[in-house]
Structure 1
Amino acid sequence: MRVALLADIHSNLAALDAVLRDANGQGFDACWHLGDVVGYGPDPDQVVERLVELRVAGVGGNHDGAAAGLLPLDQFTPLAAEANRWTARAIAPETREFLRGLPQMVREGEVTLVHGTLADPLWEYFSTYEAAERHFELQETRWSVAGHTHLPLVVRQPPGGAELDIVVPEHRTVVTPGPGQVCINPGSVGQPRDGDPRAGYAILDIGAGEVAFRRVEYDIAATQQRMAAARLPGPLIERLTRGR
């Protein structure tokens, strides 16, 4: 089974559509999203509509919870809070209902989906050794997939509790993790933070035991123009160019 993994779309329809076109060319059997469908970007309703059309399974992130009125905005940075405030005003009732219905964790066969970590699904970043240890203590499946950091990553907990094996993949890297439990972050579709502004995603081939990381060009300027028209914060607009 081949699964397209989409994380941190952040209301960026142009990036999402570019990723879906690329994924269709690669071939996949299912598509999962890993939270933060909305926030930051200008197209929350359209992104949710696309996911609903494609019957994409997934989990909620902290920005989804904020836009749906489930999380207080004082837990966010001022720029993120301003963007979430705009999103909450802009979204249609159906979008709000979709966001409110997203679970914090989903198990799909031998894969567990979460936005942050299994220890703290909405807020913890899978970015330290300690966070990884807490996560793997709770992971019951062979694979887990997460988002939140906006950085592509593969971390493996070998059998017997040996030291974690960490891979930071680049574009078109195919990683075959080997035995043990594995957590995959596909990077961000709509707000990359690794210095590469292209939309990022991954395809997990469960049968082959490997994951392929992909980067896709999209019309960044068009998204920035829509953000400016919506009067979203300037720094959020500018960072799309830098991928930071």
Structure 2
Amino acid sequence: MEPGARRILVVEDELTIAEAVAARLRAEGFAVDLAHDGPSAVTAFEATEPDLVVLDVMLPGFDGLEVCRRIQSKRPVPVLMVTARADETDLLVGLGVGADDYLTKPFSIRELAARVHALLRRVERATQTDHDESRIVLGDLEIDTTERRVSRAGVAAQLTPMEFDLLVHLARRPRAVQPRERLLAELWSWSDASGTRAVDSHIKALRRKLGADLIRTVHGVGYALEVAK
């Protein structure tokens, strides 16, 4: 592990999987902490202040959805959610409570590591870009990219890291239609369209938090920010 390495919290109750994930991430230079149930995950999050959380949905104590709600209310952090169920409702609920990306079991450790790298690269890109344009104002929508704050009509909204980055991405091209595939490639680093549910779920969350009229759906294509100048 290199000095100043990014810290990852892995929350998984199946010890074999947890140790395999931790070993791979440590081999790639990350500092890794483990938790095996809901309560200890929240405690570990507060103690270690990770840069990213790998979070299983099915946990003893309380489940990963509740863990995600609690940690996101304390400090926005990228979350890669892992679920044994491929049910679309479960995945959308996970994304709705603040997860940024998801994997369905069984998954390859290599794919999980790639997703972790992609999420961290997105955060780094967003931070670098923030210095170029620290404040975006579109009508009654105000975005402070340096402090990662957003408000509409003076009312502050708490966004997850992915929701914030998606909003900024759309706000930098107001009224321009952004295809789902482009959003997946630029924000999630996905090379195919298999994750369109993730885009749709985060758009739904932005509408819920900032107003249903904020983002226009272009059916079969993508989305556009529609705040008046």
Structure holding more helix per residue: 2
The normalised TM-score by structure 1 is 0.27
The normalised TM-score by structure 2 is 0.29
Question: Higher relative contact order at CA 8 Å, sep ≥6: structure 1 or structure 2?
Answer: 1
